[in-house]
Structure formats: C-alpha cells, structure tokens
Amino acid sequence: MLRKTVISILMIFLVLVAAPLWAQQGNNESAEPIDPQEINAENVPIVTPSDLIDQAFEEFKKKKGIEFGALGNGGKIYYASKSVVNSTPTNSQWAKARVNAFENAFLSIQRDFIIDMFGKQVVKKSQDIFEDQSDDAEEFIELDESKTKLASIWDKLVALEGAKLDKALEELGVDPEGFKAMPLKQKKATFISKMTKNILTSAIGDSTGLMPIQTFEGKDDKGNHVVGVIAMYSPKLKQLAYDISRNRSPLLKNKTGKPIKDQIPSDDVTLSKQFGVRVVFNENGQACVVSFGQWSHNYTGENTRKLERRRESATENAFDEANASITEFLSERIMFERERTKGEFSEESVVKNPDSFISREDVDKILDKISSKLKMQAKADLAGITTIKKWRYTSPYGQELIGVIRVWTLDTADTVNSVRKWKPDMKREESGIKEEKIKTEAGVESGKDFINVDDF
C-alpha cells in the first residue's frame, strides 16, 4: 500500500513539473516559422577580393578551354597567381603598390614554372624519442654539489662584485636586500618526442617563353585590392624570344594582322589595367612585342613646376618598367630555393621551483617553418624598341597614374642595326666629268703679326 502511495505522489509531481514544459512546446509550435532565407542571409560567407580573382580565373579557364599547370595543345602551359595590394586607396603610394602586386604575382608564376621545368628536391625526416622512468627521474641534484672549480671561482667573483654593489646601494639609501637573487629554477625532462620533416626545393633555369596574357584586379567596398595574373608558356614564344635576342628575323608569323596602334586600347582606364608584355601581329603578319609600363607619383600640391617634375620622374619609371618587361621576356635566368620544416614536439618534465616546490609541465608544439629565396637576372639588347604611346589617368581614389607603351618590331630593329653597322662609302662614283687640277705656287704664307717681341 505504501508503495502505491509513493508512486502516485511521483506521478502527480511529474505532471505538475512537465505541464509548463509541454505548454511552452505547444506555444513554440504555434509561433511563426523562421524564414530559412533569413538564416542563410546571416550565414552568407564574405566574398573577398581574392575570391573574386579566383572566380575570374575559373571563368577564363572555361572560356578558353584550358587547365592551369597542365600541358596543352602545342606544348603550351598556363599558370595563374594573385597578390594582395599592400596599400589602401587612401594612401598616396597605392598606385605603385598595384604595380608591385603584379610583379609579385608574376614572380610566383615564374617560380612555379622553373620548379616544374628544372626543379629538384631533397627530403629529410628524423624522429627522436627520450624517456626516463628511473627511480631518481624526479630527483634533483643540489646546485652547490655540482659546481666545478671554475664555477666556484666565478661565484666568488660575483660575490665580490655583489658586495661592492650592496655597499653602493647602502650609500644611496637603498636596501640591498630588495635585490637579492632568487634561487634558480631547475627543470628535468622525463619524456621527449620530436619528429621533423625537412623539404628543400631548388631550381635554376630560364623562363624565356613565359608571358602574361591577362590581368585582373579584384576589390571590395573597404578598398582592399588583389591583382591576379594568368600567364602562358609556349615553345613558339620561346623561339620568338630566341630570334629577337639574336637579331634574327622571327620565325613566328601570321597571315592576318593590323597596325599596332589600332590594337592598343584607346581609353586610359583600360590601359591602367594592363601590365607586362603581349605579342601581337602587325599588318604585315610580323610578330611584335608590346610592353605596358606604368608608375605613379604622390604629389598632391598645386605647384605646377613640382607637379611636372614628379610627372617626368614617373614617366621615366614607366619607361624603364616597359623596357624591363621586354628584357625579361627575351632572356631571363631564375634561381629559386625554398626550405620547409614541419613536425611536432612533445615534452614531459618535472620542475623544481625556487621555493623547492615540485611541479610538472607538459609541452606540445607543432613545427611549421618556411624560408624561400628567388633571384632573377635578365639582360637583352634594346635594339628595335620604340615608344608608341604615353598616357595619364587619375584613378577614382585621386592618384595620378602615368603609363608608357613600348614596342619591338622587326622593321625598327633592322633600321637600328643598319645605323649601328653604318660605314662610310670609300668608293668614288665614276662620272664623265674630269676633275680639274688646282694650280698652286711654292712658297710660305703667314698670318698677321700682332706681337712686338720687344714689348715683353
């Protein structure tokens, strides 16, 4: 009977406690359902400028029917890379940072290319394990007992100097007791496990025949910019560079083409987004190398003379950038080296603190280090390169960009070489006219005598 009574009381208690919960559940079911779109709107991932560049890369791949890093038709290989513009548009140096971002992105492509073509790798692994489960594993040797004779002499010297310092502190009215050294903290490892993997990648070779074919620039509403570059290696481009650098008529030709000036963008906005070299065919079907160089200046004052000086300096920089891009295209030697170390480290140890209290420490670390170096050198003859256009454009952020477009053509190269090789014609043309002989008489002629030697 007692058991039934207890069960009845428990049932009543459960009903009283659970009823509000059931009511609350019922109210939730009657509430308006949450719109899934509102939930998705809150969880929408942020699209960064880098993401936009990746999307542009994918669209380019689909449009051209290519794959990055894979060998394509005619021995062509495509690469893509991107680099952050390390400045905001509010900075006066932002336009220069854009050019540097292109350089960094293209250097990454050149690095990947020479690794694919000329790369070598060395891999080293190591594993070290130490464990001490001895009876005295957690015992410490007193420091005084472990001192050597040399250490003892050193302590005496330290004590002597310490006494002098204490006396000096007392003379200054400072209590030396406040500067007494604390006992040393001792540590003893009982277990150590270390695994490392070292990867050394190196490559030395030339990237001749590698050319940027398209550039992109992604940005967000906060002013962050990323520059993306797509480049292509082609055996035909390598042959073209080889022919040009040796003053030979290029084998690369095309049946169709049009004047180079008609192929250059006419608006400065489009020109501001052009970097590096391109190969086009002129109206005669000859291969020509067009190079786009640009730079900027940070002058924002109203002094016309200063502004013109800054513009002139920026133009010279853009001129050099354009020439440098052609030089790199014609002949480029790259040396690359990268060392990567990764692994893990674990340690268990006992510690004797200055107050003689014994504690234990556990340390777990992941190793992840990388060091890389890339050096590039290029040299080429600039014969045949001329300037076909200069432009100036003010960005939406207020910086003034200045550009120079340089182009190499076979006709110009032939003209320059003819000037370099010019020699005077030493042969007289034969004519029917007889040359008259000039009659002269023997004697001496002199100028007017201005000086009377007796005056001196």
Is a pLDDT exceeding 50 seen at residue 6? no
The two tokens of residue 216 are 């992109």
Nearest to 113 by CA among 41, 1, 212, 34: 212
Digit-coded pLDDT (tens) for 251-269: 999 988 899 999 999 899 9
Residue 206: what pLDDT? 93
Range from 20-34, 71-85, 263-277, 422-436 carrying the lowest mean pLDDT: 20-34
The pLDDT confidence band at residue 97, using thresholds 50, 70 and 90, is: very high
Amino acid at 347: E
The two tokens of residue 46 are 């942020």
The CA-atom distances, in angstroms, between 98 and each of 80, 102, 267, 318, 404 are 17, 6, 19, 13, 16
**Which of helix, strand or coil describes residue 209?**
coil
CA angle 238–413–246, rounded 5-degree value:
40
Nearest to 117 by CA among 276, 332, 327, 289: 332
Amino acid at 40: N
The two tokens of residue 389 are 């256009």
Burial of residue 353 (CB within 10 Å: 0-12, 13-18, 19+) is: middle
- Where do runs of H (alpha helix) occur along 119-206? 149-171
Residue 52: what pLDDT? 96
Is a pLDDT exceeding 80 seen at residue 176? no
Residue 129: what pLDDT? 95
Query: CB of 387 within 8 A of CB of 319?
Result: yes
The CA-atom distances, in angstroms, between 225 and each of 46, 98, 155, 229, 371 are 15, 8, 61, 13, 26
Chain-centroid distance, C-alpha 82 = 9
- Entry pTM: 0.73
Amino acid at 249: S
CA angle 84–67–294, rounded 5-degree value:
35
Nearest to 384 by CA among 407, 413, 410: 413
Query: CB of 307 within 8 A of CB of 280?
Result: no
Is a pLDDT exceeding 70 seen at residue 86? yes
Digit-coded pLDDT (tens) for 380-401: 988 899 999 999 999 999 999 9
Give percent above pLDDT 70 in the chain: 80
Helices 235-245, 304-330: inter-axial angle, 10-degree rounding: 110
Nearest to 190 by CA among 343, 357, 363, 367: 363
Q: Highest-confidence range of 6-10, 167-171, 297-301, by mean pLDDT?
A: 297-301
Residue 51: what pLDDT? 95
Nearest to 336 by CA among 40, 47, 110, 6: 110
Range from 42-56, 269-283, 301-315 carrying the lowest mean pLDDT: 42-56
**What is the pLDDT of the chain when averaged over all its residues?**
84
Residue 182: what pLDDT? 58
Cα 383 to Cα 89: distance, rounded to the nearest angstrom: 38
Digit-coded pLDDT (tens) for 119-162: 999 999 999 999 998 888 877 776 554 456 676 777 777 778 77
CB atoms within 10 A of CB 426: 5
Mean pLDDT in residue range 233-237: 95
* Ranges of each domain in the chain: 235-332+378-420
